[in-house]
Structure 1
Amino acid sequence: MPAYALLGIAIIAEVIATSALKASSGFTRLGPSLVVITGYACAFYFLALVMRSIPVGVAYAIWSGVGIVLIGGASAVLYQQMPDWPALLGMALIVIGVAVINLFSRMTVH
């Protein structure tokens, strides 16, 4: 499977796990807690596979940047936690930073 597809799986798993953290109520509710644990385990497993072929800095920038934006959307939908303008601006700057890394970085895997 291509590395960027694996990265997509890692991102989705991380977003699911992070979204379930609030529902786990501090790991006092079994179902959401199992979603958190499974989601993070999958996220880190696939992220580790990705780092075989994508540089750590690039992979992590994409993983965290896309994850932040998706979590912002998920928290708005699931928990009615609407991001304000500073939050939206910050997310936009993160996306711009990830784009700059991907377009102009010359990092390589060794």
Structure 2
Amino acid sequence: MSPYLYLLIAIVAEVIATSALKASDGFTRLAPSLVTVAGYGVSFWLLALTLRAIPVGVVYATWSGLGIVLIASVGWIVFGEKLDAWALLGMALIVAGVLVMNLLSKTAAH
């Protein structure tokens, strides 16, 4: 399986886990708490598999950057949290940085 597919699934698992963490209400609700633990476990396992083929800096920048954008989007859509123009600009810059690292940098695995 492609390391980038592992990375994509790791990012999705982390976003699910973080969403469940908010829903767990400080680990006082069992089901979201279990989803949180399982989601982070899957995410880190797949992240470890990704690191076999892609440099750690690229993996972490992609994982954390896209995770930030996705979880902020989930916060906005699911939890009704506000995103102002500055937040949107910041997220656009994060995506731009991830794209530069993955598409233009010679550091990334191709």
| TM-score (normalised: structure 2) | 0.93
Q: Find out whether 1:7 has 2:7 as its counterpart.
A: yes
Superposition RMSD in Å: 1.3
In structure 2, what is the equivalent of residue 96 of structure 1? 96
Work out the number of aligned pairs and report it.
109
What is the TM-score of this pair, normalised by structure 1? Answer: 0.93
Q: How does 1:35-74 map to 2 (within 5 A)?
A: 35-74=35-74
% same residue: 60
Question: What amino acid does structure 2 have at the position aligned with 1:74?
Answer: V
Gaps of 5+ in 2: none
Shift of 1:81: 0.5
Distance in structure 1 (CA, Å) of the matches to 2:102 and 2:62:
8
Contact 2:101 2:108 in 1 (8 A): no
Which has the higher mean CA deviation after the structures are superposed, 100-109 or 83-92? 100-109
- Identify the range of structure 1 (64-73 vs 100-109) with the bigger mean alpha-carbon deviation: 100-109
The aligned counterpart of 1:32 is 32
Instruction: Measure, in 2, the Cα distance between the counterparts of 1:91 and 1:106.
Output: 24
Q: Which runs of 4+ in 1 moved over 4 A?
A: none
Look up the equivalent residue of 2:90 and give its one-letter code: G
